Structure 1
Amino acid sequence: MTQAKAMTLLLVDDSRVARLTLVRQLQSLPLELNILQAASADEAVALMQGQRADAALIDFNMPGRDGIELAAEFRQSHPQMTLALVTANIQDALMKRAQELDMTFLPKPASLDGLARFLGADA
């Protein structure tokens, strides 16, 4: 799959290892991606004040604001951004909250197929 322009993707996870793992997986997809990274909700908000992202992969458990709080803020400030909650915290209540925010729910560790479906690519 070839795209005319690179997709900008925001990764938000307080774990550097988790971000690196996701970056490796994403780079194996047949997409041209510009990947931005943030280690917290506050860092993500600051980064997005001067940028635009097409999609975001957001961890739930982070110091400070959690991923659901960040997603709710992005729904207001960046309504066109496609959002996914990437978390090992697989609880029905959390999945429901993500669904209410029109987020894709990807259990951690994220599968290549799940990432590909979220981004509209072939794994």
Structure 2
Amino acid sequence: MTQAKAMTVLLVDDSRVARLSLMRQLQSLPLSLDILEAASADDALALMQERQADVALIDFNMPGRDGIELAGLFRQSHPQMKLALVTANIQDALVKRARELDMTFLAKPASLEGLARFLEVAE
């Protein structure tokens, strides 16, 4: 599968280590990616004023707005964006809230297979 342009992926997590881990996994996939990073929901919102992302991988627990709140805002402003909640907070109520926002739920640490499925990469 060849792509005409790189897929732009936004990583939103207050943990730099978590963002780097996701970035390494994403870069190992057979895709052309442009990866953007934000350490908070507010940083992500500001970044999206300047850039457009096709996909966002969002942590739940962050200072300020949580990942579900950010996803709700993205659903309003960028309804076509693919969203995934990537979190170690695995509660049925949280999974349900993510699915109500048409988000994919990926438990941390995210597996390469889960990321590939979310990004629709043929392995």
Q: TM-score, with normalisation over the residues of structure 2?
A: 0.98
**Structure 1 counterpart of 2:12, one-letter code:** V
Match in the other structure for 1:68: 68
* Contact kept? 1:12, 1:41, Cα under 8 Å: yes
Mapping 1:1-123, distance limit 5 Å: 1-123=1-123
* Contact kept? 1:13, 1:38, Cα under 8 Å: yes
**Structure 2 counterpart of 1:108, one-letter code:** K
* Contact kept? 1:11, 1:58, Cα under 8 Å: yes
Q: Secondary structure at the match of 2:14?
A: coil
User: What residue ranges of structure 2 are gaps of 5+ in the alignment?
Assistant: none
> 1:78-106, CA deviations, whole angstroms, 9 ceiling, x for partnerless residues?
11100000000000000000000000000
User: What residue ranges of structure 1 are gaps of 5+ in the alignment?
Assistant: none
Number of corresponding residues:
123
Aligned counterparts of 1:122 and 1:14: Cα–Cα separation in 2: 30
Aligned counterparts of 2:72 and 2:13: Cα–Cα separation in 1: 16
User: What is the percentage of aligned positions where both structures have the same residue?
Assistant: 81
Q: Secondary structure at the match of 1:73?
A: helix
* Contact kept? 1:8, 1:52, Cα under 8 Å: yes
Moved >2 Å (runs of 4+): none
* Contact kept? 1:10, 1:36, Cα under 8 Å: yes
